Each structure stands twice: as structure tokens, then as C-alpha cells.
Amino acid sequence: MSIYHLSDDNVCTLPIGIYRDGIYHKEVIIDELTGVDQHALSDPKNRKNPQGAISNILRRVIQEIPGVLDKKSNPTHLIPERYINEMFQADIDALVLKCFIVSEESSRTLDFDCAACEAKLQEDLDLKELDVYGHDPEEPPFVNIELPRGIEFDDTLYKKGRFHFITGGIQNKISKYANRGLYYTFSAVMTQCLELEDGQKFNLEQVARMKAKDRNYVMSVVQDTIPGVDLNIEIECPECGADSEVAVDVANFFLPNRRKSKRSKKRSV
């Protein structure tokens, strides 16, 4: 994988790209956020459905996808929703971050609790410093897996398979499970993305019966090998000196930026 950073111009280089006719198209031309977008963000309906808000905003700010979508005649028009649903979630995350880099200051403030002393802290983060792992266009949009234990179904033990990259459409389907916790949400993800030998897929009840060792293995593969913006950063607590891993919540970037803390220090590298 190649590693790069998001710049502050209006061309977003996608980590994976939109697949058309054997080519991954990686460049998207975007517009800055406008008052129209801010009006949409203030809609209570959108605040209850961050994924839907992201989709609508991207449909407006995307102006052109060379090789896929011609330049819009009116920058306020929305592109068809299917383009967002077809995009990989890694590309959507990159586009959201790019919108804020282009439209506002690239610095954001993160709230987090120290894992060791539980102090409530804030940290400044420059979005342009986040590593973006680019997908090799010669490789397919999935990763091969081999489960340590395997899943038994109809007297057949399945171990080998593949995990397909999550798309915007899949993210929309599983977003309704977000309030049920990480593990349940990941079960929903696996029903959509996990494909074992012979094309076998599983429902929620079946993936819930997977051994914890297999589930943790799949989660580690997703976190460590799938392309996209590295949204997990390590920060040193200024109170006790312990390191905490903090996840950057892309959906919450549509909320107003919070006050910067005087206690913030440079994050560990």
C-alpha cells in the first residue's frame, strides 16, 4: 500500500477509487461547504442520521469524477445517490475529511478519556497529518482470510474466504445497528462483507455463533489491512503520561468544532 496525506486543494485522491471498465478512478473534484450545506446539517432529521447527512452533503459538494461523472452544470445540484452507495466507505471517509480541510481550518479538537487515569482531555489534530493508505489498483477490493476455528454450516466447516471492502450502501444498511454496540454492529458488517468458500454468506444469528477468536481475527484484518484513512491515533495523556488510542469519528465532523483546550499537547508520533 502507498501512504499519502490529504492536501488543501479541491482535488481529493481516493484511497481505493470508483471502479469502472477495469479502472479505479481515484480523483474527485469537490466544492467547499456552503450555507446550503450548513442548513442541511442543522436539520434535526440529519443529526439523527449522520450517515444520511454525509451522503446528502457529498452529493452536493462533489462536482466531477473524471472518467465517471461529468462536471455538474450547477454546483448546487445533487449527484445521483447511487454514486455514494457504490463508493467504498474508505473513500467516503476521505471525502468528508477533505471537505473540512478545504472549507475550514484543518485543525480539529478531539475529546477523549485517558484509558489509564480516566481524565477528561482534549487534543488538537491536524487532519492533513492523518496517514491515508492507498489501495493497489492491481489488487481486488477484498482481503483473503483464513479463520482459526472456522464456521460449521450444514455439516461443512468453512475456514477460508474473503472480506469485501465496505461500501456506502452497506454502511447505510448497518447504521441502524450503531446504537447496539461495537460487536453487534460488526456482526451486521460480516453479514454483508464476509464471504467464505463456495460463496457462502451468513445471517446475524449465524455470525453471532462464530467463535470469539474468529471474530477478533476478522476485526484485526479489517483494521490492519483494508485501505483508507488511519482514524486511530495514539495520544499521550498530559496528566499521567499513559498512551491512549483515540478513534476519530468522521460522522461527528459535521457538528461544530469544540473549544480548544489549553491542556492540549502535541500528540505522540
| Three-state SS annotation for 134-150 | ECCCCCCCEEEEEEEEE
**What span, in angstroms and rounded, lies between the C-alpha atoms of 116 and 245?**
11
233 vs 72: which has the higher pLDDT: 72
- pLDDT, residue 203, reads 86
Instruction: Say whether pLDDT at 253 is over 70.
Output: no
Looking up cell 467516503 gives 92
Confidence at residue 201, expressed as pLDDT on a 0 to 100 scale: 86
Q: Which pLDDT score is estimated for 211?
A: 92
Beta-ladder partners of 124? 109
Confidence of residue 251 (pLDDT cuts 50, 70, 90): low
Q: What is the mean pLDDT of residues 88-95?
A: 95
On average, the pLDDT of the chain sits at 85
Q: Which residue has the higher pLDDT, 111 or 70?
A: 70
Q: Which residue has the higher pLDDT, 174 or 64?
A: 64
Cβ atoms within 10 Å of 226's Cβ, excluding its own:
23
**21 secondary structure, DSSP code:** T
Please state the rounded mean pLDDT for residues 129-157.
90
pLDDT for 21: 86
Does pLDDT of 263 surpass 60? no
**144 pLDDT above the threshold of 90:** yes
What's residue 164's pLDDT?
94
Give the whole-number percent of the chain exceeding pLDDT 70. 89
Backbone angles phi, psi at 174, to 5 degrees: -90, -10
Instruction: Locate 154 and state its grid cell.
Output: 450444514
Q: Tell how strand 107-113 and strand 62-64 pair up.
A: unpaired
Q: Within its chain, how far is the Cα of 9 from the centroid?
A: 21
At 48 the pLDDT is: 66
**For residues 195-220, average pLDDT:** 88
φ, ψ of residue 41 in degrees (nearest 5)? -70, -25
In angstroms, the first-to-last Cα distance of the chain is 20
pLDDT greater than 60 at residue 266 = no
Short-list 99, 103, 139, CA closest to 226: 139
Mean pLDDT, to the nearest integer, of 203-216?
Answer: 89
Classified as helix, coil or strand, 58 is helix
Average pLDDT over residues 149-170: 89
Residue 21: all three cell numbers together = 471498465
